[in-house]
């Protein structure tokens, strides 16, 4: 037996006391170090301006909204705003990024200003004037609130004033109430969510790629695709309809492709998806409307291709050639079409026409097939006043409503689907600016919004 062990046996009480003192000293030294570290961090944070503090600590999506100088929620711009000091803010009569862009965006910017530069500890979002809500606008509102809550929780020890309570109130419109309680703020942030007989919800899904292994991502994509396709089937079953096997296979393929693209093309590697099916009476007629929104934040479609580090230089070269033709003819800007809107349109194509008509570039993003598959769900080949699919990215809004069809072009054994938004079906001709247009406000990411009338 060692001498140290013998000593412990002879004087067990003294040895125990020494051990306790040693542990206490270690604990004391550790606590002192932690306190000094916290103090240093606090001093460093206090030396930061509020702008720098937000830049450093806000989560990635909120960071993009606040610090992309093209964003309507850019820090320097919302700092100039004067939102109501009592914290009561009214949602527009028509809350839509598509049909009421300016008023809806200004409302969201005022709300962001209330969150970032709070005058009170309470915000009341008032729906008393609201008669219609677009799912894309509502999910953007909810994501902003989610990001703000996450930021507050993350930095709850900081001295800056913050909102403590966020309320929704005076929801007078029945359809607005149904959306909020099934897939919107009330369902997401409270335990007051409800189910309604005429509603089939596809609740908000948030999918993050960051730190995930490839196998996990592939499995998750399959799960997400199955869930979304099952949701579509459930909505159709309500109308005693079912998809033929070939259409079902096609839908699975394009949904899987569009979901994985929404993640891969997001510089923040996060994708959001949400859906909403409702049967309702309108003008004495029973109609069924299916809504789906897929959204990401970060670089826009145009940003991705304009980036000097874009890996596919061949695509960029062809895009430059096509938009260059419009520049030479001095049509860009004057015609209401910009290089950004043209490049965004080109990026959706399965085939992009080069200088000579026999040169095509195959694309696998599935955007056109996604649009085509969802419009085929209508059950009618005719055009209606409700169905449309919008793609918003940056300052571009592309709307497919059936006014212009999808053309097929062949090159040898390959067949390409082309969507030109003009009567000629030629991408070298200007698209109709009613359907390929420049938005007043920049959206820092990409939003796909489908609204389909099922028959």
Under DSSP, is residue 320 helix (H, G, I), strand (E, B) or coil? helix
Give pLDDT, residue 355.
28
Return the ∠ at Cα 437 (arms to 433 and 441), rounded to 5°.
155
Give pLDDT, residue 334.
60
Residues 293, 272: Cα–Cα separation, whole Å: 8
Contact between residue 365 and residue 348 where contact means Cβ atoms under 8 Å apart: yes
Give pLDDT, residue 145.
97
Give pLDDT, residue 29.
66
Spell out a b/e string for 177-197, using b for 16 or more CB atoms within 10 Å of the CB, else e: bbbbbbbbbbbbbeeebeeee
DSSP conformational letter for 359:
-
Under DSSP, is residue 226 helix (H, G, I), strand (E, B) or coil? helix
Residues 169, 138: Cα–Cα separation, whole Å: 15
380: Cα within 13 Å, side-chain hemisphere: 11
For 139, counting Cβ atoms within 10 Å of its Cβ (0-12 exposed, 13-18 middle, 19+ buried), the class is buried
User: Would you tell me how many other CB atoms lie within 10 Å of the CB of residue 248?
Assistant: 14
Contact between residue 233 and residue 454 where contact means Cβ atoms under 8 Å apart: no
Give pLDDT, residue 311.
80
Give pLDDT, residue 99.
96
Residues 145, 62: Cα–Cα separation, whole Å: 10
Rg (CA), the chain: 27
Per-residue pLDDT reduced to its tens digit, 102-153: 999 999 999 999 999 988 889 999 999 999 999 999 999 999 999 999 998 8
Residues 274, 379: Cα–Cα separation, whole Å: 22
Give pLDDT, residue 237.
92
Residues 168, 141: Cα–Cα separation, whole Å: 12
Give pLDDT, residue 314.
82
φ, ψ of residue 429 to 5 degrees: the values are -100, 150
Residues 363, 350: Cα–Cα separation, whole Å: 5
**pLDDT one digit per residue (tens) for the chain, 455 residues:** 555 554 555 555 556 566 666 766 777 667 766 665 554 445 445 557 889 989 989 999 999 999 999 999 999 999 999 888 899 999 999 999 999 999 999 999 999 999 999 888 899 999 999 999 999 999 999 999 999 999 988 876 666 778 889 999 999 999 999 999 999 999 999 999 999 999 999 999 998 866 666 666 677 778 888 899 899 999 999 999 988 887 777 788 778 777 777 766 666 778 899 999 999 887 778 899 999 999 999 899 899 889 888 888 888 888 888 888 776 565 666 666 889 999 999 888 874 432 233 333 444 456 787 888 877 787 666 678 889 999 999 999 999 998 888 888 776 677 778 889 999 888 888 899 899 999 999 999 999 999 999 87
pTM: 0.84
Residues 351, 368: Cα–Cα separation, whole Å: 10
Under DSSP, is residue 305 helix (H, G, I), strand (E, B) or coil? helix
């Amino acid at each position: 037996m060692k001498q140290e062990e013998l000593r412990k046996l002879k004087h067990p009480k003294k040895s125990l006391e020494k051990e306790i003192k040693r542990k206490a000293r270690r604990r004391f030294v550790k606590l002192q170090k932690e306190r000094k570290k916290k103090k240093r961090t606090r001093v460093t944070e206090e030396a930061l301006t509020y702008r720098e503090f937000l830049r450093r600590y806000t989560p990635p999506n909120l960071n993009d909204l606040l610090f992309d100088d093209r964003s309507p929620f850019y820090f320097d711009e919302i700092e100039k705003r004067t939102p109501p000091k009592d914290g009561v803010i009214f949602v527009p009569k028509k809350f839509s990024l598509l049909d009421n862009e300016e008023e809806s965006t200004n409302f969201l910017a005022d709300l962001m200003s209330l969150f970032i530069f709070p005058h009170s500890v309470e915000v009341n979002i008032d729906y008393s004037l609201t008669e219609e809500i677009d799912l894309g606008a509502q999910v953007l509102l909810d994501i902003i609130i989610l990001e703000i809550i996450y930021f507050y929780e993350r930095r709850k020890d900081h001295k800056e004033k913050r909102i403590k309570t966020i309320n929704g109130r005076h929801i007078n419109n029945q359809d607005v109430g149904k959306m909020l309680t099934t897939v919107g703020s009330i369902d997401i942030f409270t335990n007051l969510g409800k189910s309604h007989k005429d509603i089939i919800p596809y609740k908000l899904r948030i999918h993050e790629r960051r730190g995930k292994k490839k196998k996990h991502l592939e499995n998750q994509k399959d799960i997400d695709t199955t869930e979304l396709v099952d949701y579509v089937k459930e909505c159709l079953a309500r109308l005693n309809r079912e998809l033929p096997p070939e259409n079902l296979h096609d839908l699975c393929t394009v949904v899987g492709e569009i979901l994985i693209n929404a993640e891969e093309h997001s510089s923040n590697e996060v994708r959001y998806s949400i859906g909403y099916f409702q049967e309702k009476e309108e003008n004495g007629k029973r109609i069924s409307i299916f809504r789906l929104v897929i959204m990401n934040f970060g670089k826009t479609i145009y940003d991705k291709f304009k980036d000097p580090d874009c890996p596919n230089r061949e695509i960029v070269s062809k895009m430059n050639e096509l938009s260059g033709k419009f520049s030479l003819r001095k049509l860009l800007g004057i015609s209401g079409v910009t290089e950004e809107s043209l490049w965004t349109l080109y990026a959706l194509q399965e085939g992009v026409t080069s200088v000579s008509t026999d040169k095509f570039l195959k694309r696998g993003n599935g955007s056109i097939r996604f649009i085509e598959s969802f419009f085929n769900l209508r059950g009618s080949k005719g055009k209606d006043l409700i169905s449309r699919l919008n793609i918003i990215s940056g300052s571009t809004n592309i709307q497919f409503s059936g006014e212009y069809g999808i053309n097929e072009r062949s090159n040898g054994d390959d067949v390409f689907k082309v969507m030109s938004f003009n009567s000629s079906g030629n991408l070298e001709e200007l698209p109709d600016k009613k359907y390929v247009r420049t938005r007043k406000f920049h959206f820092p990411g990409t939003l796909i919004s489908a609204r389909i009338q099922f028959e």
